[in-house]
């Protein structure tokens, strides 16, 4: 379980606070979706959780252990990252995923690391790509490889920054179903950010509405209401129910 | 079935990479002998073998053992060092055009050497492989030492400036260019006040020339270069992780700042040592890693040894060429590598598919 308490962060000593007292709790196997405008602090929050940035104050605990005091390799075995913009070197898919194991082997990959990679590739039906150069793959495939690389860390939780940002609709569905499968089958918690409310409603268990560096509203599907969206995004939407599913439709925006 | 095929393909790729490294190593050995047998004294292969076995005439034995072998060893060691230093700088800065000259290391070395020759009349001058035509100052290593000190100072200055900016790769390149131009300006001022003799000596120093190498300088370079390559090889997987971008590498548990600092420092020290003994030999760190990454990919387990070996090959070839073209006295090898380097630079610029950030 991830537990964030009163987290504050700013980029420079005299810069304004980007995270201004964030509290957030996410259980194992749960999918949490952070919703907020551009610049509301979502990516900064994720980078603090992952140890990429260091907070000014507050605590981040995982199963009671302080993530801020943990060794880098230890933290990498608990929380893994699928960044918003994905970069790879000119390596084979197999070696790219194997890179995710670096917190386990340090300097030289062993047989058990290679076996773990084969297991993950098999599990994600990526075996037939194993020997291919990762730079030659399509956007959706690369995103899957990035998930596989993160899973190679055998984490308890995945942080997934705008997973559908640059993908076409088929790849969007592929990645979202993959994320759901990982959470359900492996009991891995997922914390993600999405811009599309309908994708968020389809994927998420818990929702965190973020504005000006604070979580303003938090809860299950019930929390996603027209009023909350208006307050956070300053945008008009309508929420309708079709076949028992909540659908958010654009209400024409601010007039 | 598919899995077995992929398994086999991965093994095949690994074997191919290992074979490429073995081939490159063999090429280094063959070229070393070619380089040993080519020279202005027009010795036949039989003479060379005899001299190698110390059974030839005294002059021929001296040419092989005192001139050619130190020179060949310098080409192998400095080529490997400069190439690997370029590769590491490119990984660290996520920029295929990063090299010792981009970071101002070479400019600082030139200033140090100029200061020593012009202001302190120190020096260790040699023109090609003509044994009788060189002058030695109060201390033959004074110029090299000054070149080394200033290039190290320049590196430390850049690294210190960049710590203030948390090592953003773009900032490092810009800081390198800025500091490099300060050294160039200072060199120009020095040269303006120099005597004719001092000026010509200082200019000759900047020509990268393998003829200056001695067993002692080769040994110093070899210790530094081999230690560096050993360290980089140990860090191969962490460097592979860095190819995924700073954020991803940090989330994998890699101490990115420390890795970048230590590898940059090692790469810069290798450059400083080679430049201070041999003068400016540019573009080796751009040409070789570029070719190797194109042919064998970016996996540092392969690209580090392959870049090192290809660097040796390039310098051996360039040196053989420089001695064949020089009509008696060898052309500076640095001029040859720079001529070869420019087209590669253009190829990199026009071949780039798109920018991507490193952090």
Asked, for residue B62, whether it belongs to a domain, the answer is no
Chain B stretch 233-252, residues whose beta carbon is closer than 8 A to a beta carbon of chain A: 234-238, 240-241, 243-248, 250-252
Asked if A118 lies within 8 A of B3 by C-beta distance, the reply is yes
Q: Is A83 on the interface with B (CB under 8 A)?
A: yes
Instruction: Give the per-residue pLDDT at B167.
Output: 60
Q: Does B10 lie at the interface with A, CB-CB under 8 angstroms? A: yes
B286 has pLDDT over 90: no
pLDDT value of position B122: 55
CA distance B318 to B35: 10
Query: Any idea which residue has 């000759």 for tokens?
Result: B204
Task: Tell the residue number behind the tokens 């590669």, with chain if given.
Answer: B344
Banded model confidence at residue B45, pLDDT cuts 50, 70, 90 = confident
Cβ contacts (< 8 Å) between B357 and chain A: which residues?
85, 87
pLDDT in tens, B61-82: 888 888 899 999 999 999 999 9
Which of B253, B258, B259 would best serve as a mutation to test chain A binding (most A beta carbons within 10 A)? B253
The pLDDT of residue B93: 83
- Pair (A139, A167) in one structural domain: no
pLDDT at B327: 67
Q: What mean pLDDT comes out for the span B209-216?
A: 87
Which pLDDT score is estimated for B299?
96
State the total domains in chain A: 2
The whole-number pLDDT of residue A208 equals: 97
pLDDT of residue A130 exceeding 50 = yes
- CB-based contact, A218 to chain B, within 8 Å: no
Give the mean model confidence (pLDDT) for residues B280-293.
89
Domain boundary among A116, A133, A154: A154
Residue B56 lies in a domain: no
| Side-chain half-sphere exposure of A98, counting CA atoms within 13 A | 27
Q: How confident is the model at residue B359 (pLDDT cuts 50, 70, 90)?
A: very low
Residue B265 pLDDT class (50, 70, 90 cuts): confident
Q: Which residues are paired to A19 by β-bridges?
A: A9
Closest CA–CA distance from residue A13 to any residue of chain B (Å): 13
| Shortest CA distance from B255: residue in chain A | A72
A177 and A57, same domain (yes or no): yes
For B238, which of A94, A102, A122 is closest by C-beta distance? A102
Please tell me the predicted confidence (pLDDT) of residue B103: 78
Question: Are A72 and A9 in the same domain?
Answer: yes
- pLDDT value for B354: 46
What SS3 state is found at B181?
Answer: helix
Whether residues A222 and A98 share a domain: the answer is no
Predicted confidence (pLDDT) per residue in A10-21, tens digit: 998 889 999 999
Nearest to B72 by CA among B42, B28, B128, B22: B28
Min Cα separation B9/chain A (Å): 6
In chain B, what percentage of residues exceed pLDDT 70?
A: 88
CA distance A80 to chain B (A): 6
* pLDDT, average across residues A84-102: 93
Asked which of A133, A154, A175 is the last residue of a domain, the reply is A154
A170 Cα to chain B: minimum distance (Å): 24
Per the domain annotation, does B359 fall within a domain? no
- Please, which pLDDT band fits residue B52 given cuts at 50, 70 and 90? confident
Mutation target vs A (from B247, B258, B296, B297; most A CBs, 10 A cutoff): B247
| Alpha-carbon gap: A252 to the closest alpha carbon of chain B (Å) | 36
Q: What is the pLDDT of residue B140?
A: 59
A227 and A195 Cβ atoms separated by less than 8 Å: no
Residue among A47, A88, A107 whose CB faces B243 most closely:
A88
Q: Is the pLDDT of residue B43 over 50?
A: yes
pLDDT band, very low/low/confident/very high, at B135 (cuts 50, 70, 90): very low
Residue A50 inside a domain? The answer is: yes
**A190 and A71 inside one domain:** yes
Chain B residue with minimum CA distance to A97 = B241
Would you say residue B234 has pLDDT above 90?
yes
- CA-based nearest residue in chain B for residue A145: B244
Average pLDDT, stretch A154-180? 86
- Name, in order, each residue with C-beta under 8 angstroms of B149's C-beta and a sequence gap of 6 or more: B112
Same domain, A127 and A42: no
Residue B235 pLDDT more than 90?
yes
Among residues 26-65 of chain A, which lie with CB inside 8 Å of chain B?
47, 50-52
Q: Per the CB < 8 Å rule, is A102 touching B252? A: yes
Please indicate, yes or no, if residue B358 is contained in any of the structural domains: no
Residue A255 lies in a domain: no
Residue B358 pLDDT more than 70?
Answer: no
Q: Provide the pLDDT confidence category of residue B209 given band limits of 50, 70 and 90.
A: confident
pLDDT band at A34 (very low <50, low <70, confident <90, very high): very high
Strand partners, A192: A33, A160
**What phi and psi, each to the nearest 5 degrees, are found at residue A138?**
-80, 170
Residue B130 confidence (pLDDT): 34
A153 in contact with chain B, both atoms CB, cutoff 8 A? yes
The answer to the question of residue B21 being in a domain is: no
Asked whether residue B44 is domain-assigned, the answer is no
Q: Are A185 and A208 part of one and the same domain?
A: yes
Residue A58 confidence (pLDDT) above 50: yes
Chain B positions touching A118 (Cβ under 8 A) are: 3
Domain for residue A92, yes or no? yes
**Co-location of A165 and A131 in the same domain:** no
Q: Domain with B136 in it: what CATH number?
A: 1.10.3470.10
pLDDT tens across A218-230, in order? Answer: 999 999 999 999 9
| Smallest Cα distance from B297 to chain A, Å | 5
A124–B contact, CB cutoff 8 A: no
> Across residues B112-137, what is the average pLDDT?
57
ipTM of this complex: 0.92
Range of the domain at A116: 87-154
Residue A193 shares a structural domain with residue A73: yes
Least CA distance to B239: which residue of chain A? A99
CATH code: domain of residue A164: 3.40.50.300
Instruction: Annotate A5-57 with DSSP letters as a single string.
Output: EEEEE-SSTTSPPSEEEEEEEE-TT-EEEEEE-TTSSHHHHHHHHTTSS--SE
Q: Note whether B7 contacts A: Cβ–Cβ < 8 A.
A: yes
pLDDT of residue B226: 97
Nearest C-alpha in A relative to B257: A52
Quote the number of domains for chain B: 1
Mean pLDDT throughout B345-358? 61
Q: Tell me the chain B residues in contact with residue A70 when contact means C-beta distances shorter than 8 Å.
A: none
Q: Which of A154, A171, A187 is the last residue of a domain?
A: A154
Q: How far apart are CA A3 and CA A5, in angstroms?
A: 7
Q: Which residue has the higher pLDDT, B47 or A53?
A: A53
Q: What range defines the domain where residue B210 resides?
A: 74-348
Q: Is residue B195 part of a domain?
A: yes
Q: Do A80 and B251 touch (CB under 8 A)?
A: yes
pLDDT digits (tens, 9 = 90+) for B145-198: 888 889 888 878 877 776 676 666 667 778 888 888 999 999 999 999 888 888
Best B16, B95, B244, B245 member to test A by mutation, with max A CBs in 10 Å, is B244
B230 at A interface, C-beta within 8 A: no
Residues 283-312 of chain B with CB under 8 A from chain A are 293, 297-299
B103 lies in a domain? Answer: yes
**Which has more pLDDT, B292 or B343?**
B292
Mean pLDDT of B112-135: 58
Say if residue A173 is in the same domain as residue A53.
Answer: yes
* Residue B136 pLDDT > 50: no
Residue B58 has pLDDT above 70, yes or no: yes
- Asked if A40 contacts A18 with a C-beta cutoff of 8 angstroms, the reply is no
Classify residue A10: in a domain, yes or no.
yes
A168, A142: one domain: no
Residue B245 to residue A83, Cβ atoms within 8 A = yes
Residue A34 lies in a domain: yes
> How many C-beta neighbours within 10 Å does residue B272 have?
27
Same domain, A172 and A245: yes
Average confidence score pLDDT of chain B = 84
pLDDT in tens, A180-195: 888 888 889 999 999 8
CB-neighbour burial class of residue A66 (10 A; exposed 0-12, middle 13-18, buried 19+): exposed
Ramachandran sector of residue B165 (left: φ over 0; alpha: ψ -120 to 50; beta: rest): alpha
């Amino acid at each position: 379980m991830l537990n964030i308490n009163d987290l504050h962060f700013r980029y420079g000593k005299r810069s304004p606070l980007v995270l201004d007292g964030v509290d957030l709790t996410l259980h194992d196997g749960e999918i949490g979706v952070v919703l907020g405008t551009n610049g509301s602090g979502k990516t900064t929050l994720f980078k603090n959780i992952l140890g990429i940035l260091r907070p000014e104050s507050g605590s981040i605990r995982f199963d009671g252990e302080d993530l801020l005091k943990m060794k880098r390799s230890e933290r990498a075995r608990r929380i893994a990252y699928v960044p918003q913009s994905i970069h790879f070197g000119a390596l084979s898919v197999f070696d790219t995923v194997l890179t995710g194991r670096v917190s386990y082997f340090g300097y030289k990959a062993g047989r058990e690391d290679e076996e773990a990679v084969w297991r993950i590739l098999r599990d994600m039906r990526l075996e037939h790509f194993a020997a291919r150069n990762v730079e030659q793959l399509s956007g959706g495939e690369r995103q899957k490889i990035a998930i596989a690389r993160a899973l190679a860390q055998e984490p308890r939780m995945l942080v997934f920054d705008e997973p559908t940002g640059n993908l076409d609709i088929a790849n969007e569905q592929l990645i979202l179903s993959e994320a759901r499968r990982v959470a359900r089958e492996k009991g891995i918690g997922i914390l993600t950010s999405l811009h599309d409310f309908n994708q968020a409603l389809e994927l998420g268990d818990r929702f965190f509405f973020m504005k000006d560096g604070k979580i303003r509203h938090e809860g299950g599907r019930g929390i996603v209401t027209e009023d909350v969206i208006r307050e956070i995004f300053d945008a008009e939407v309508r929420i309708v129910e079709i076949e028992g599913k909540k659908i958010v439709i654009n209400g024409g925006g601010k007039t | 079935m598919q899995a077995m095929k992929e398994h086999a393909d991965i093994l095949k790729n690994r074997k191919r990479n290992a074979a490429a490294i073995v081939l490159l190593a063999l090429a280094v050995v063959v070229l070393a002998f070619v380089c040993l047998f080519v020279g202005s004294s027009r010795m036949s292969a039989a003479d060379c073998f005899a001299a190698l076995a110390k059974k030839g005439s005294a002059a021929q034995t001296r040419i092989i053992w005192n001139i050619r072998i130190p020179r060949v060893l310098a080409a192998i060691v400095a080529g490997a060092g400069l190439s690997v230093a370029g590769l590491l700088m490119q990984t660290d800065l996520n920029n295929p055009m990063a090299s010792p000259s981009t970071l101002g290391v070479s400019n600082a070395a030139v200033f140090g050497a100029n200061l020593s020759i012009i202001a302190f009349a120190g020096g260790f001058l040699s023109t090609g492989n003509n044994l009788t035509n060189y002058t030695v100052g109060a201390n033959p290593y004074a110029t090299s030492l000054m070149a080394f000190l200033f290039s190290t100072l320049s590196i430390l200055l850049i690294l210190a400036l960049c710590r203030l900016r948390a090592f953003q790769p773009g900032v490092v390149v810009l800081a390198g260019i800025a500091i490099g131009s300060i050294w160039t300006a200072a060199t120009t001022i020095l040269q303006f006040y120099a005597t004719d003799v001092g000026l010509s000596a200082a200019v000759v120093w900047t020509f990268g020339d393998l003829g200056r190498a001695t067993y002692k300088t080769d040994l110093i370079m070899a210790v530094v270069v081999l230690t560096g390559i050993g360290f980089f090889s140990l860090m191969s997987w962490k460097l592979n992780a860095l190819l995924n971008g700073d954020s991803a590498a940090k989330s994998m548990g890699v101490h990115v700042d420390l890795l970048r600092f230590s590898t940059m420092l090692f790469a810069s020290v290798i450059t400083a040592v080679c430049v201070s003994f041999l003068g400016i030999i540019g573009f080796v760190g751009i040409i070789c890693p570029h070719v190797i990454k194109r042919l064998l990919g970016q996996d540092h387990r392969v690209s580090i040894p392959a870049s090192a070996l290809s660097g040796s090959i390039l310098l051996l070839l360039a040196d053989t060429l420089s001695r064949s073209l020089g009509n008696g006295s060898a052309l500076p090898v640095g001029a040859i590598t720079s001529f070869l380097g420019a087209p590669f630079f253009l190829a990199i610029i026009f071949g780039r598919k798109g920018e991507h950030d490193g952090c």
